[in-house]
Amino acid sequence: MRLDLRHGLGLAGGALVSLCDRMHMAGGVLTYPDGGLWGQPWWVPLLFGAAGVVLVAAHDLLVKALRSPPRPSRPDEVLLYGALFVAAYAATAFAPLSAPLLAVLLLALWLPAALAQRSAAFWVFAAALGLAGPLVEAALSSGDRFGYTQPDVLGVPMWLPVLYLWLAPLASALARLPVR
């Protein structure tokens, strides 16, 4: 695998998600038993940064495996989906809604962004994120690395898979940026 600008942007996206994670801390959604810098352990930014690079690489592999090259994205798409992802993250941190209502609302708002993708690779990618992301978090939370204050299933909130679905358009747009 050859690293390029998209992987660097994925790493930067990991830093953004670390800041979003701070919203969850500020909203009382999750806690860390061994907080370091600003209450987050040292490994949180590294984990999210590595995940950003892995998501770009995984999208590339999936596109090749499915032989369905998607259309290239534009920087404004990345910014739009980034803003929508941050807004969804903020909603999960601060919206005074029940977990089921929040999950349904975020899913209903996600569908138009997802339907605009028109790519088989996107749907497989989104489904994989929506399943794998919460399972990884369930494993980490069961190991006492962090904990959600109001978990629903397997130690995580029921809206978490939908938050990972919101990551799919952003990660896909980032992975589809033309490399020069």
When pLDDT is averaged across residues 83-89 and rounded to a whole number, the result is 93
When pLDDT is averaged across residues 85-100 and rounded to a whole number, the result is 94
Q: Structural domain tally of the chain?
A: 1
In the chain, pLDDT over 70 holds for what percent of residues?
Answer: 88
Q: Which residue spans within 90-180 are E strands per DSSP?
A: 147-148
When pLDDT is averaged across residues 109-120 and rounded to a whole number, the result is 86
Number of Cβ within a 10 Å radius of residue 118: 10
- Residues of the domain holding 128: 5-175
Element (H, E) at 30: strand 30-31
| Domain contains 150 | yes
| Domain contains 45 | yes
Per-residue model confidence (pLDDT) at position 106: 96
Q: Tens digit of pLDDT for each residue in 94-105?
A: 999 999 999 999
Which pair of structure tokens corresponds to residue 78?
């990345």
Closest CA to 113 of 102, 126, 103, 124: 126
Q: Tens digit of pLDDT for each residue in 31-66?
A: 888 766 677 777 777 778 777 777 777 777 777 777
- Tallying the residues shown for the chain, one arrives at 180
Number of Cβ within a 10 Å radius of residue 137: 23
Tell me 41's DSSP state. Answer: -
Closest CA to 7 of 82, 60, 44: 60
| Domain contains 37 | yes
Q: CA 9, CA 52: separation in Å to the nearest integer?
A: 8
When pLDDT is averaged across residues 111-136 and rounded to a whole number, the result is 87
Q: CA 117, CA 146: separation in Å to the nearest integer?
A: 34
pLDDT of residue 166 exceeding 60: yes
| Domain contains 141 | yes
Dihedral angle of Cα 78, 134, 94, 53, to the nearest 10 degrees: -30
Per-residue model confidence (pLDDT) at position 7: 56
For helices 160-175 and 43-66, give the axis angle rounded to 10 degrees: 70
Give residue 21's pLDDT band: very low, low, confident or very high (50, 70, 90): confident
Per-residue model confidence (pLDDT) at position 5: 59
| Domain contains 138 | yes
Given a contact cutoff of 8 angstroms between Cβ atoms, the answer to whether 46 and 17 are in contact is: no
| Domain contains 127 | yes
Q: CA 149, CA 71: separation in Å to the nearest integer?
A: 40
| Domain contains 180 | no
| Domain contains 30 | yes
φ/ψ of residue 116, rounded to 5: -70, -15
When pLDDT is averaged across residues 108-132 and rounded to a whole number, the result is 87
pTM of the model: 0.85
